[in-house]
Amino acid sequence: MIKNLFSLEGKSVAVIGAGSGIGQAVAIGTAQQGAYVCCLDINTDNASETAAMITRAGGAADAGAVDITDAGSVNDAIAIAAAKHNRLDGVVCTPAINVRKPILKYSGDEFDRVVQVNLRGNFNVLQSAGRLMVPQGSGSVVLFSSIRSIVTEPGQSVYSMTKAGILQLVKTAATEWGTTGVRVNAVGPGVIETPLTAPIKQNPDWYNAYAMKNPMNRWGQASEMAGPTVFLLSDAASYVTGTILYADGGWLAADGRFTPPGM
């Protein structure tokens, strides 16, 4: 029925990065739509607290540890998440890191660190999820890209590169797995208040400039990323794969901050 299109009732979903920020908001949002949620994070205490928040609210969740840069850790975590209901209907991966530096000041170690988490980490998750879901014949994978996948600014070279790479991973997996019943998509946030962007909030000029860049004149909240993710996990998105859903307050629609006189 149409009224149940966005329901995740009876579905089993693993949310990686569930210990804080967007990942925590997504874990709570999927649970509110009826899913059993396995809250995974490199910080097990934080993941456990998110799971406890869900269960206190009447939802179903448990928690576990995962390091997305370690393929073995990812495989183990995904296997444990799937074991709860002998299947896994959804996998969401939200973690990322950023080193804001001009290209000429970037060190090799910094480059490797950002690529290891943002690209290798997401590849590990995608590969592990696919190994389970393709034989299963169903499932939805949601990776987190960014507006930086197509627009950038000084100091964002490696981060932007990795976010564009995530989008291409999504597109390739969708083409490889489309006939198996497995869908793969990305969410592309704009500027969102999370622990990753906390340093910007401490600089009012920088924070306000970002707020005024999009037509809504404000930053997004982590909770506002739950809706787009739930959509991509749900049957409402049954014919949606290989694409990105930008949730950016209109950032990509605006070509600057100047409003001509009389407009």
DSSP string, 165-196: HHHHHHHHHHHHHGGGTEEEEEEEE-SEESGG
**Residue 1: inside a domain:** no
pLDDT at 85: 92
pLDDT tens by residue, 151-198: 999 999 999 999 999 999 999 999 999 999 999 999 999 999 988 788
**Residue 261: inside a domain:** no
**Residue 71: inside a domain:** yes
Provide the domain limits for residue 114: 7-248
**Residue 38: inside a domain:** yes
At which residue do the structure tokens 């600057």 appear? 256
SS3 220: strand
Instruction: Answer yes or no: is pLDDT of 54 > 60.
Output: yes
Nearest-CA neighbor of 169 among 69, 242, 98? 242
**Residue 260: inside a domain:** no
Cβ count near 151 (within 10 Å) = 12
At which residue do the structure tokens 């995740």 appear? 8
Looking up residue 26, the CATH number of its domain turns out to be 3.40.50.720
pLDDT at 198: 84
Catalytic residue among 159, 210, 239, 246: 159
pLDDT at 176: 98
User: What is the domain count for the chain?
Assistant: 1
Amino acid letter, 62: D
**Residue 259: inside a domain:** no
**Residue 256: inside a domain:** no
Instruction: Answer yes or no: is pLDDT of 256 > 80.
Output: no
**Residue 203: inside a domain:** yes
Contacts (Cβ under 8 Å, ≥6 apart) of 262: none
Is 239 a known active-site residue? no
Nearest-CA neighbor of 233 among 2, 4, 11, 17? 11
